[in-house]
Structure 1
């Protein structure tokens, strides 16, 4: 009887020690604190947004503390490489060039281009619906260069504005027919402004993933297991509705876990027989 009591006591002590160790773990992670609605200043100080919630929930599920650093995006990946951050929670498009230098998790959101139009605009189902129109964009953004590259083909005129908010206001005032930006940014704009609505979605086929340092496969797997579970149990879908005002599309990265670790067809992907579970 005494032996069983001692064994139980030792087991309980080991569980308690493991829990305490997990609570002592702190991950220093980075994001761009000015990229609404993924991360943005909130009244009273601090930051809020989709990726802030996502990072904190990952920490909760791992039993770890998350030290979220808001900084300029241009310095985030170099900071990761230098060891300043454990991993990156900023929306980061997975590309071949980036995958050659960092280790990506599987994608958790699609990153597409989406148009915003006035509420009284008829439904537009393809790019031809914007022919001959004025398209407002955020100056210097990827959407600016994309729209200008297509101007000769589509017949639209591109006007650039200092912020995407100004570009959306140009649509509201009638100075532009539509604004084009990232799908989540456009969804946020439509949610915040009752005078505009979401219109045509141009699919890029690209996704956002979380970058880790090369060699940190174990940490990547630990975090990715949590991301997969959040897809399976609907947590990411709930965050999608909370911040973007829409449910994620069926089959999108927000609700579709991926076998193995990393994003298929990119460097760093490991097909080791791992099946997503929760």
Structure 2
């Protein structure tokens, strides 16, 4: 009988210990946030001459740490290694731009979006206005080979009557526009904005809305920390910090109502697993 009680108590102790490990926060007040990003995805993250990282997401994650009163330990790594490392507990969450979709939200817990993941066309600065996809009919469009933008253009090639030219890098596709070998380039909205910011001979043109957003992924079950980081994100949207980052890195002043400057109701990304609808009010109070 005593042996059974001892075994039972030992089992209970093990259960409590395991429960504590599962429910304890990945990081606590005054601790360092451990996070990571693909350090080659300009203008979100790119290497500096002194071996550090700079970019939109680098600034964003440091501002989040500042608002929460935490230090930030940011690591640069290949994108393909980031999610496995997160799931293994190497990082508290990822600072990388990760598109929220049904497949990913089934295994990851996402914050609300920090930016819309739209497609943007880049055209010569002296080109006319393009207001719809139909306006590109008969045009030659340069794109990064094998990208989502390449697939999009080829799927709709017959429907819209454009000609698709694929290049090994998006930089090469942009160069094709500058040399007159293509009428436009299609890329992600931020990459397109970065290309235009670097070259006054180009301008942003029509932006195609995908309805998707970039957000920060956490491990499933880490709602407490997800919600804490999301509150900091909402603060940065409200106090104008996100708009300033957009202007700094993309040369674009966000339009009111877009994800980058508009807090989302509840916690998480609406329409996807892990979203919690509630009436918490976005503010910059009581973050630390």
Q: Distance in 1 between matches of 2:131 and 2:227?
A: 39
Where in structure 2 are the equivalents of 1:175-214 lying within 5 Å?
Answer: 175-214=181-220
Q: Hey, what does 1:258 align to over in structure 2? A: 264
Q: Distance in 2 between matches of 1:272 and 1:175?
A: 52
Q: CA deviation at 1:195?
A: 0.9
Where in structure 2 are the equivalents of 1:97-136 lying within 5 Å?
Answer: 97-136=103-142
Q: Distance in 1 between matches of 2:283 and 2:64?
A: 15
Q: Distance in 2 between matches of 1:64 and 1:262?
A: 22
Q: Deviations over 1:9-51 (max 9, x none)?
A: xxxxxxxxxxxx844x111111111110000111222110000
Stretches of 4+ aligned residues off by more than 3 angstroms: none
- Of 51, 54, 59, 2:60 maps to 54
Q: CA deviation at 1:60?
A: 1.2
Q: Hey, what does 1:15 align to over in structure 2? A: none
**What are the ranges of 5 or more consecutive residues in structure 1 without an aligned counterpart?**
1-20
Q: Distance in 2 between matches of 1:95 and 1:245?
A: 28
Counterpart check, 1:238 vs 2:244? yes
Q: CA deviation at 1:133?
A: 1.3
Q: Distance in 2 between matches of 1:110 and 1:222?
A: 21
Q: Distance in 2 between matches of 1:273 and 1:50?
A: 29
Comparing 265-274 with 113-122, greater Cα deviation is found at 265-274
Q: Distance in 2 between matches of 1:66 and 1:74?
A: 22
Q: Hey, what does 2:16 align to over in structure 1? A: none
Q: CA deviation at 1:120?
A: 1.1
Q: Distance in 2 between matches of 1:82 and 1:141?
A: 28
Q: Specify the SS of the correspondent of 2:63.
A: helix
Q: CA deviation at 1:194?
A: 1.1
Counterpart check, 1:268 vs 2:279? no
* Count of residue pairs brought into register by the alignment: 257
- Of 47, 51, 63, 1:45 maps to 51
RMSD of equivalent CA atoms: 1.1
**What are the ranges of 5 or more consecutive residues in structure 2 without an aligned counterpart?**
1-27
Q: Deviations over 1:103-131 (max 9, x none)?
A: 00001101100000011111111111111
Q: Deviations over 1:48-80 (max 9, x none)?
A: 000000011111111111111111111111111
Counterpart check, 1:85 vs 2:109? no
Where in structure 2 are the equivalents of 1:12-51 lying within 5 Å?
Answer: 22-23=29-30, 25-51=31-57
